[in-house]
Chains A and B, each alone.
Chain A
Amino acid sequence: MIRKTKVSIKGCTFSLLKTTKIIYLPLFSNAYMFLALTFLALLSLSLVPQALAQSEVEFTEQEIDAITAQGPWPGAIPHDPGNELSGLSWAETLGEALFHDSTLSADESVSCATCHQSDKAFNDNRAVGIGLDQGARNTQGLLDVGLQRWFGWDGGADSLWAASIRPMLNKHEMGDDINSVANALRANSAFISAVSTNAKTVYFDGKPGDTVNDLSDEQLVVVAGKSIAAFIRTLRSQPTDFDRFRIALLENDAEAQSAYSDSAKRGLKIFVGDANCRMCHFGANFSNGEFHDTGRPFFTGVGEVDPGRYTGLQRVREDRFNLLGQYAVDSSSTDKLKTSEVKLGQLNWGQWRTPSLRNLAHTAPYMHDGSLATLRDVVDAYADIDTDRLHSQGESILKPLNLTDDQRNDLVRFLLSLSAK
């Protein structure tokens, strides 16, 4: 039998038996005397106002490795592939203005910010988004979205800039067409001025420096999309209680560890342990960036389904703004590979992109269709998963978890610790 034994005081941690067998000692043995003396020494240390900071929750080396892999935070956001404006401050400023510009919608009533509201972690807290009319999917928050490889619940865009163009042209969202968006941009003096001033950094037809007046409708829309993407890429979330605990764990900082509640720690143990959540919600952003069928229903009405990744892949292949197209500037062969080589198959039917678990406290309701109102509902849905909806050859890690009520609450507590206050 193996267990890890720690005694912690403020600022230092003594691993008496780092990973060892339990040894049963005869009463009054020297070993007992040693332990007793050690305890007294530690107790005396606690009398100086350093509180004895012990937790009932301990982590094994394996668990600590797993927890370590869920950081660091915040890491760097990668360059938006194919977007020559990514990281340019003028484009970020312009993009922010366009993000709030309702003239880019068909009836000039909605903008990106209508659904992606800054005071709600760039979410709208609705079950499904409502732009010009009601869509079928939950609005995803935009904080840290630049860390994703695919964009949207179905991965229907392979870059942030392509994902930024799509809502302008989607009939449920902003409902406009290329020509109308371009005309709105031409009428936008701030846009014209910013692009004209920085024309040398914008690649038109593969070369920089043309004047904005020479741009086609489609080129203007691409510049707008890339600018909006440059802005969205800057939207970051702050370090969380979990991130602070993770650092404390790595640094053996017992006091800092004690600031993290035992309930959250127990939830974390479940997350990286038996529940296997980390298999998909992996890494610093708590998402493997890929797509899975977790058995969630995807009917959108009588006789209508929204099959997620299956149609997303078809869309990205047909998207003239994808990384294989003429508007992707300087995207590397690696960037393009994901789009050129991704396979479309029947397993994609009903798959959804693994969402990040950061900022969950601000982004209810949950799942691709907003069908689960609370985090407890989400935990319950996985803990009591309907295996009838999973194929025998499907995600084998998905199985009922047999969690107690307390364990479910612990898991919720942990998930809440992934949101900055």
Chain B
Amino acid sequence: MSKFNASNFKNTNSKIKSSICLSVILGFAGALLAPAQAQTDSLPIADVHIHYSHDSVELTPPERVIEIMREANLKFALVSSSDDNGTQLLSELAPDLIVPGLRPYRRRGETGTWFKDPEALEYVELLLANNQYASIGEFHLYGSDAELPIPKRIVELAEEFNLILHAHSDADAVERLLAQSDSVKVIWAHSGFDAPEEISALLSKHDRLWADLAFRGEVGSGGLSDAWRKLFEDHPTRMMLGTDTYTPERMYFIPDHAAGARTWLETLPEELAENVSWRNGYNLIMPIWEANKKSVTTNTQQAVKTVETCEVENNDNAVLLEGERYKVLLKTDAALEVSKPGKINAIVCGDVSTISEFKLDASMPAHGHGTNYTPTVSITNQTDNTINYAVDGVVLHMPGNWQWDVEILDSEGSEALEQAFMIK
């Protein structure tokens, strides 16, 4: 696919480079006659508006998506997907490139209903309990809907889990979201499709607000207008780029979007161009993502310690489920594969003396179904504090986000344990 005016581009750059050299010669002590213009042909891009939703997963393999992103020279991508499966697939594949965001949609068609849907909130809370993210969003929310109970709870969760809100909203809803917290930060998706002057006004009013330019084709079209240039100059640390891959086909637009952005970024001073292209996104999102990732390590270490006190071994293919009365370690000798029958060793820890039955199954919460087979369960070992079960015939027939569903029946009734996991 051809790129935007590539030949003209190189010529312009060579002129820019010449200009910079001359300036350095004339003013060695930093007294450049004019600000250096950006050299943008290889400028990295932080793309903060990527979706890899269920239909996109079906049509483009995650490996190809990563390839496209690297072809576009993305420094990183903030990815949020409906459902979350796509984000996790990319995150597993390229943790250096992907920053996961949590979209509160199980399917793409929930943009107008999620904020009144308790199940959407449950979905968010379940994912937050099991995965790590940098943001909640992109979600669609307008006006006073921002003060409905579910959006309010989303703001609370953002505070609790150190997450940025990524809001496809009008200015009214953005202000209502910001007013609900003293600390939460907001990325204003598409800059609200507002005019540069209005974006500038809102950014001036709220220092916890940033804005992305996703699906804003008018920015830089036919040259960067004075109004947009002024916005970037007035708010040099607050504007960011995004493609918005809202349909599967748009995933292939990422390189062209990046190339197109570079053509107008080159008309900005170098530092400002870098700010908009990647530094603003990096400075906002990366510290949060790094902090949230570290909390994972801590949790994992605690989990391992808990297991050890239960005298149950852990390994790479193990996952711990913790209930009120029991802990269950699920282990496999090798990673489970899609549609291939697998064998799982389940170790139940606790007062196991009254356990009468152990059940293990798996389900896909976003798809509303479980497996197509009933696994067989047999006891292979038992001590005072543990029972080892062999669970055979587990077939996970689709890639994506699954959930282990364990039920332990005993003299007090039963205890149910859940744990999200992903299979590729």
What number of A-B contacts does a CB cutoff of 8 Å give?
Answer: 60
Do residues A345 and B140 form an inter-chain contact, with CB atoms below 8 A? no
* Contact in complex: A307, B249 (CB < 8 Å): yes
Number of contacting residues on B, CB 8 A? 31
Contact A388 B108 (CB under 8 A): yes
Chain A residues contacting B218 (CB-CB under 8 Å) are 345
Q: Residue B225 at the A interface, CB < 8 A? A: no
CB within 8 A of B247: which of A311, A344, A346, A350? A350
Q: A303-B64, A389-B247 are in contact. Are A349 and B193 (CB under 8 A)?
A: no
The reply on B148 being an interface residue by CB < 8 A is no
Task: Please determine whether B59 and A318 come into contact, CB atoms closer than 8 angstroms.
Answer: no
Q: For B249, give its contact among A311, A350, A387 (CB under 8 Å).
A: A350
Contacting pair A346 B2 (CB below 8 A): no
B413 within 8 A of A: no
Interface string of B209-221 (1 = CB under 8 A from A): 0000001011001
B residues near A388, Cβ cutoff 8 Å: 107-109
* B-chain residues with CB within 8 Å of residue A303 when the two chains form the complex: 60-61, 64
Tell whether, in the assembled complex, residue B217 and residue A298 are in contact, meaning their CB atoms are under 8 Å apart: no
Stretch at the interface among B27-35, B252-260, B403-411: B252-260
Residue A62 at the chain B interface, CB threshold 8 Å: no
Could you say which residues of chain B place their CB within 8 Å of the CB of A387?
Answer: 109
- B248 adjacent to chain A (CB < 8 Å): yes
Which of B218, B222, B246, B247 has the largest number of chain A CB atoms within 10 A? Answer: B247
Contact of A299 among B217, B222, B249 (CB under 8 A): B249
Interface residues on A, range: 20 to 34
Cross-chain contact A318 with B217 (CB below 8 angstroms) = no
Answer yes or no: B373 CB below 8 A from chain A CBs: no
Question: Is A392's CB within 8 Å of the partner chain B?
Answer: yes
Contacts of A350 in B (CB 8 A): 247, 249-250
Given the complex, which residues of B lie within 8 Å of A346, measured CB to CB? 215, 217, 253, 256-257, 260
Interchain nearest-CB distance for A299 vs B (Å): 6
Q: Which residues of B contact A305 (CB under 8 A)?
A: 249, 252
A387 to B260, CA, bound (A): 27
What residues of B have a CB within 8 angstroms of the CB of A207 in the complex? none
- Kindly report which residue of chain B lies nearest to residue A388, judged by CB atoms: B108
Whether A307 pairs with B248 at a CB distance below 8 angstroms is: no
With an 8 A cutoff between CB atoms, is B244 at the interface? yes
**Roughly how many angstroms separate A344 CA and B218 CA in the complex, as a whole number?**
10
A345 to B4: give the CA distance in the assembly, Å: 10
B201 at the interface (CB under 8 A from A): no
- Complex CA gap A295/B250 in Å reads 12
Q: Are A345 and B253 in contact (CB under 8 A)?
A: no
A153 within 8 Å of B (CB atoms): no
- Per DSSP, chain A at the interface is loop
Q: Closest chain B residue to A350 by CB distance?
A: B249
Contacts of B244 in A (CB 8 A): 391
Tell me whether A345 and B217 are in contact (CB under 8 A): yes
A347 at the B interface (CB under 8 A): yes
Give CA–CA (A205, B193) in the complex, Å.
Answer: 49
Q: How far is the CA of A343 from the CA of B215 in the complex (A)?
A: 15
Instruction: Specify which chain B residues have a CB less than 8 angstroms from the CB of A311 in the assembled complex.
Output: 1-2
Closest residue to B67 on the A side, CB-wise?
A303
Asked whether any CB of chain A lies closer than 8 Å to the CB of B181, the reply is: no
Chain A neighbourhood of B253, CB < 8 A = 307, 310, 346, 349
Q: Does B75 contact A (CB under 8 A)?
A: no
Interface string of A389-408 (1 = CB under 8 A from B): 10111000000000000000
- A-contacting residues, B215-251, CB 8 Å: 215, 217-218, 221-222, 244, 246-250
Interface status of B111 (Cβ within 8 A of chain A): yes
Known contacts A299-B248, A303-B64, A346-B257: A393-B2 contact under CB 8 Å: no
| A216 lies within 8 A of chain B by Cβ | no
Contacts of B249 in A (CB 8 A): 297-299, 305, 307, 349-350
- Choice from A299, A314, A347, A392 contacting B2 with Cβ under 8 Å: A314
Q: Closest approach, in angstroms, between the C-beta of A14 and any C-beta of chain B?
A: 49
* Contact residues in A for B247 (Cβ distance below 8 Å): 295, 350, 389
Query: When each residue 377-391 of chain A gets 1 if its CB lies under 8 Å from chain B and 0 otherwise, what string results?
Result: 000000000011101
Whether B2 and A318, one on each chain, are in contact in the complex, defined by CB atoms closer than 8 angstroms, is yes
Q: Is the CB of B252 within 8 A of A391?
A: no
Residues of B near A298 (CB, < 8 A) are 249
Chain B, residues 257-301, CB within 8 Å of chain A (1/0): the string is 100100000000000000000000000000000000000000000
Residue among A307, A343, A344 making CB contact with B252, cutoff 8 Å: A307
CA distance A311 to B260 in the complex (A): 14
On chain B, the residues within 8 Å of A307 by CB distance are: 249, 252-253
Check if B185 is an interface residue, CB within 8 A of chain A. no
Q: In the complex, what distance in Å separates the CA atom of A302 from the CA atom of B250?
A: 14
A311 to B246, CA, bound (A): 19
Give complex CA distance A307, B1 in Å: 10
Whole-angstrom CA separation of A246 from B237 in the bound complex: 60
Residue of A nearest to B168 (CB): A392
In the assembled complex, the Cα of A310 lies from the Cα of B3 at a distance in Å of: 11
How far apart are B215's CB and chain A's nearest CB, in angstroms?
6
In whole angstroms, what is the CA distance A346 to B168 when docked?
19
Of the listed residues B108, B111, B256, the one surrounded by the most CB atoms of chain A closer than 10 A to its CB is B256
A275-316: which have CB < 8 Å to B? 295, 297-299, 302-303, 305, 307, 310-311, 314
Output the residue of A298, A344, A387, A388 with the most chain B CB within 10 A: A388
A-chain residues with CB within 8 Å of residue B4 when the two chains form the complex? 344
A318, B60: Cα distance in complex, Å: 30
Do A345 and B221 touch (CB < 8 A)? yes
Report the separation of the CA atoms of residues A387 and B108 in the bound assembly, to the nearest whole angstrom.
10
Asked if B140 and A392 sit within 8 Å, CB to CB, the answer is yes
The answer to whether the Cβ of B190 comes within 8 Å of any Cβ in the partner chain is yes
Measured CB to CB, the closest approach of chain A to B297, in angstroms, equals 35
> Are A347 and B217 in contact (CB-based, < 8 A)?
yes
In the assembled complex, how far is the CB of residue B381 from the closest CB belonging to chain A, in whole angstroms?
Answer: 47
| Interchain CB contact under 8 A, B111 and A392 | yes
**Those of A67-124 within 8 Å (CB) of chain B:** none
Distance (whole angstroms) from the CB of A303 to the closest CB of chain B: 5
Report the bound CA distance from A374 to B218 in whole Å.
37
Q: A298's closest neighbor in chain B, by CB?
A: B249
Contact across chains for A310 and B217 when beta carbons are under 8 A apart: no
Q: Judge whether B59 and A299 touch: CB under 8 Å.
A: yes
Contact status of A393 and B193, CB under 8 A, knowing A344-B4, A350-B247: yes
Complex formed: what's the CA distance from A68 to B301 in Å? Answer: 76
Contacts A/B (CB < 8 Å), 17 sampled: A297-B248, A298-B249, A302-B59, A302-B60, A303-B60, A307-B249, A310-B256, A311-B1, A343-B221, A344-B4, A345-B218, A345-B221, A345-B260, A346-B217, A346-B256, A387-B109, A389-B247
17 further A-B pairs in the complex, CB-CB below 8 A; given A343-B221, A388-B107 = A295-B247, A302-B60, A307-B252, A307-B253, A310-B256, A311-B2, A344-B4, A345-B217, A345-B221, A349-B253, A349-B256, A350-B247, A350-B249, A388-B109, A391-B246, A392-B111, A392-B140
**9 closest cross-chain pairs (CB), A and B:** A345-B217, A346-B217, A388-B108, A305-B252, A305-B249, A347-B217, A345-B221, A388-B109, A314-B2
Residues on B lying within 8 angstroms of A by beta carbon are 1-2, 4, 59-61, 64, 107-109, 111, 140, 168, 190, 193, 215, 217-218, 221-222, 244, 246-250, 252-253, 256-257, 260
Interface residues of A (CB under 8 A from B): 295, 297-299, 302-303, 305, 307, 310-311, 314, 318, 343-347, 349-350, 387-389, 391-393
